[in-house]
Amino acid sequence: MRRQMITSVLALSLLGGCASVSSSNLNPFNWFGPSTEVPLTEDGQKITVLPTLAPRNGYANFIDTRPLVPSVSDVIIVKSASGAIVTAISVLPTVGYYDAELVRVRGGAPSELVLDFKARPPKEATVVGTENQRRLNVARSISAADLAGIRTITVRSASGARAIRR
């Protein structure tokens, strides 16, 4: 009898706290929020607006400040399983150039691919070094789909350009 009395008092005290449960997530009536208006197209299809990961003010405009390398000494194209690999070689005036890349130039003839050979020069004065130390090799992979209509690949530098024809 004593055990039943203790169990009953505990159950009643727990139920006494149910007044605060009405606004909690434990209450099944609170599992869904109030109804909201859903925009529809003229055909009656629901318009789904997906959340974006873009910043609220948009992305900053990227401006590539790297200059073109002084000259290109050689351009090599090697076939690969996915298309081709274009390798450009430059012998620079000093050591220390970094962040080099072959950057695609938009526009121009559809049968020609134009790449700019860009690299960031050293910030401080550096030694001249040997020719092998000053040599900079940069490669870029080009897919077979991009190569489909291309007949000429041109790599530009500050003093000129080198082209390879297929």
pLDDT tens for 76-111 read 999 999 999 999 999 999 999 999 999 999 888 889
Rounded Cα distance between 111 and 145, Å, is 13
Domain segments of the chain as ranges: 74-165
Please, which pLDDT band fits residue 7 given cuts at 50, 70 and 90? confident
Rounded Cα distance between 156 and 108, Å, is 14
Rounded Cα distance between 118 and 155, Å, is 10
Helix-strand-coil percent breakdown of the chain, rounded to 5?
20, 35, 50
pLDDT over 60 at 31, yes or no: yes
Mean pLDDT (whole number) for 23-40? 74
Q: What is the pLDDT of residue 15?
A: 60
Percent of the chain exceeding pLDDT 90 equals 49
In DSSP terms, 11 is beta-bridged to none
Torsion of CA 145, 148, 152, 156, to 10 degrees: -10
Where are the alpha helices (H) located in the chain, listed in sequence order? Answer: 2-16, 131-134, 144-147
What does the mean pLDDT of the chain come to?
Answer: 86
pLDDT over 60 at 61, yes or no: yes
Query: 26: number of CA atoms within 13 Å, CB side?
Result: 6
pLDDT tens for 38-60 read 778 888 788 777 778 888 888 88
What pTM, to 2 d.p., does this model score?
0.64
Considering only residues 157 and 41, tell me which one the structure prediction assigns the higher pLDDT.
Answer: 157
Among 76, 71, 77, which residue's Cα sits nearest to residue 91?
71
Give me the amino acid identity at 159: S
Q: Which helix (H) or strand (E) holds 33?
A: none
Q: What is the pLDDT of residue 20?
A: 63
